[in-house]
Chain A
Amino acid sequence: MKYDLEPTLPAPSSTTGVIGWMRRNLFSNATNSIATLIIGYFLVTLLGPALQWAFIDSDWFGDSPAACTSGGACWAFITYRMDQFMYGFYPETEYWRINITFLIFAVAIIWLVTDKTPYKGYVSIFVLFIYPVIAFYLLYGGSFGLEVIETHKWGGLSLTLVLAIIGIVAAMPFGILLALGRRSNMPIVKAFSVIYIEFWRGVPLITVLFMASVMLPLFVPEEITFDKLLRALIGIILFQSAYMAEVIRGGLQAIPKGQYEAADSLGLSYWKSMSFIILPQALKMMIPGIVNTFIALFKDTSLVLIIGLFDILAIVQAANSDSAWLGFSTEGYIFVAFVFWVFCFGMSRYSQNLEKRLQTGHNTR
């Protein structure tokens, strides 16, 4: 017997388009319509003055508070000190060193995150192994005819980025090793990982930073002096790798046992099966959690202000107390919040994009 297939019809027009969307989502029934109107009213009454203050009545440039005459936000406070907010107390003639350092990094990262660029492997090796050396000599100097610029002169956004990038890049591999260690069959490796993770997760980052900056010098001989920035960095890395380890462990545990068994049965050694089979899947699955940790780490870098490092928040706070520019702390804090938000939102969007791209339409069997 033959039968005809029913034709495929387009969806009814009332369910598509802007009108359809509004009808479904905003005005689907009386209660929803009223809620929409009330929320709309508040949005307009609150957002309007905020926009007015921030954009319409604002002054953007000037070298003293006298330039701010429009009654709105005085962004001149920010733009006037922009160099300081970006570079801290780094000598002005050497700004190019910071610029080049971050320019190389930005180019390499864009290269890596863009689809279908060639030589990704070489670029990753460059970023992980060669770039840190270049960055060190550019930022710190002391060789190639570059004068040494001590880390206490570093500050602003560039310091925040140094802390965040090194923290992220270093915490990730440590986190992976700790996560594998915690699932290891070897009792000593396992015990070490568990103790390490539980210790660092049990103390607040502030305590760690205080320890690193105040207590550590008391315990080591006087001749040995660690740079304060280095101490803060080590503290951040030790602390965050414990968090990273737990996120990655979650991913490892979510991989079905069959994957481990298939890898074993093919004769893959432990490290090969981890690096080719288990970790790629576990890390992919945990992208939201990993990026969450990255974002938390990025924001936590602002805690270094309590040990006297001038990251972007600390430097803006210092500027707030400048007697020539009193009364603009709102602008200052909004600016800091905006800078943090841009970076964190960027990471968040990239992670969503990455998740979509790595989707291979699998069920996990």
Chain B
Amino acid sequence: MSTQDAREVSDKLMIELRNMNKWYGDFHVLKNINLEVKKGERIVICGPSGSGKSTMIRCINRLEEHQEGDIIVNGVELTNNLKNIEIIRKDVGMVFQHFNLFPHLTVLENCCLAPIWVKKEPRKQAEATAMQYLERVKIPEQALKYPGQLSGGQQQRVAIARSLCMNPDVMLFDEPTSALDPEMIKEVLDVMIELADEGGMTMLCVTHEMGFAKRVADRVIFMDAGQIIEENEPHEFFNNPQHERTQLFLSQIIQH
């Protein structure tokens, strides 16, 4: 039922970064970042390590604080105002490199905690929703296990389900496959591709999986040294990179 055609990118802006700058102490990690993401757009961010890609998406839900410029998510400006941060975090789900599941809770409890305590859903309803998402990531049978009893790939799929349970408008993926064993990368990517194909979800994904980028991205962004060097739709980006640094990066990762 979900095909490429189901994708719809509306004109509504979901995320706006305007002249954003960030420093770690004296170190200028993000330099003058400008980025507009429309509702339903799928964006892949790549670049060498230390280029600030993770830091950039972590600024979007305030896991990192930016010092200059504006970040606007779904019409709400991200400031020190705790209310705004709260609203934005409800709208924005995040999947981490190291899964960050809660080890003392079962898979089901991991998924239900935030819906129950943040969105005040009744437990029954939260559990039903959670089971639905666990089915979508194809591990409903693990619902009563603890994260420590699952493989890395399964844990990451639970982490995706956990974020989806909050019914977010935006999903941020911070290198979701780079801590996984090679044989488990595909099961996680498949789930992400399915999510992308369904349409409607705005996705920002920091990843080195170029196949994934070609398959689902509307736009690929290349970052180096804290700046956005180049952005383009995937076909152009991979076949006709404009910037020298991008060409070097692509030649280096494709060699292997």
Complex interface: stretch among B33-41, B86-94, B127-135, B224-232:
B86-94
Interface string of A241-277 (1 = CB under 8 A from B): 0000000000000001011011111111100100011
Contacts of B104 in A (CB 8 A): 280-281, 284, 358, 360, 362
Cβ B63 vs Cβ A265 within 8 A = yes
Cβ A362 vs Cβ B147 within 8 A = yes
User: For A259, A269, A365, which residue has the most chain B Cβ atoms within 10 angstroms?
Assistant: A365
Given A280-B104, A360-B146, A264:B63 Cβ within 8 A: yes
A363 at interface by CB-CB < 8 Å: yes
Cβ B61 vs Cβ A265 within 8 A = yes
B219 at interface by CB-CB < 8 Å: no
Give the number of A-B contacts (CB < 8 Å): 82
Cβ B92 vs Cβ A281 within 8 A = no
Q: Chain B: residues with CB nearer than 8 A to chain A?
A: 61-63, 86, 89-90, 92-94, 96, 98-104, 113-114, 117-118, 146-149, 155, 162-163, 166
Provide 9 A-B residue pairs closer than 8 Å at the C-beta atoms, listed in order of the A residue. Answer: A259-B102, A264-B61, A264-B89, A265-B92, A265-B93, A266-B89, A267-B86, A268-B113, A272-B117
Contacts of B98 in A (CB 8 A): 256, 258, 365
Cβ A261 vs Cβ B100 within 8 A = yes
Shortest C-beta distance, B171 to chain A (Å), equals 11
Shortest C-beta distance, A30 to chain B (Å), equals 45
Cβ A281 vs Cβ B89 within 8 A = no
Shortest C-beta distance, B88 to chain A (Å), equals 9
Cβ B100 vs Cβ A258 within 8 A = yes
Contacts of A269 in B (CB 8 A): 86, 118
Q: Chain A: residues with CB nearer than 8 A to chain B?
A: 256, 258-259, 261-269, 272, 276-277, 280-281, 284, 358, 360-365
Shortest C-beta distance, B111 to chain A (Å), equals 10
- Give me the 8 closest cross-chain CB pairs, A-B, nearest first: A362-B148, A362-B103, A262-B100, A258-B100, A266-B114, A267-B89, A360-B146, A265-B94
13 more A-B residue pairs beyond the given contacts A265-B93, A281-B104, with a C-beta to C-beta distance below 8 A:
A259-B102, A264-B63, A265-B94, A266-B93, A266-B162, A267-B166, A268-B114, A268-B117, A281-B103, A360-B104, A360-B146, A365-B98, A365-B147
Residue of A261, A263, A266, A365 touching B103 (CB-CB under 8 A): A365
Residue of A262, A266, A361 touching B149 (CB-CB under 8 A): A361
Distance between Cα atoms of A266 and B167 in the complex (Å): 11
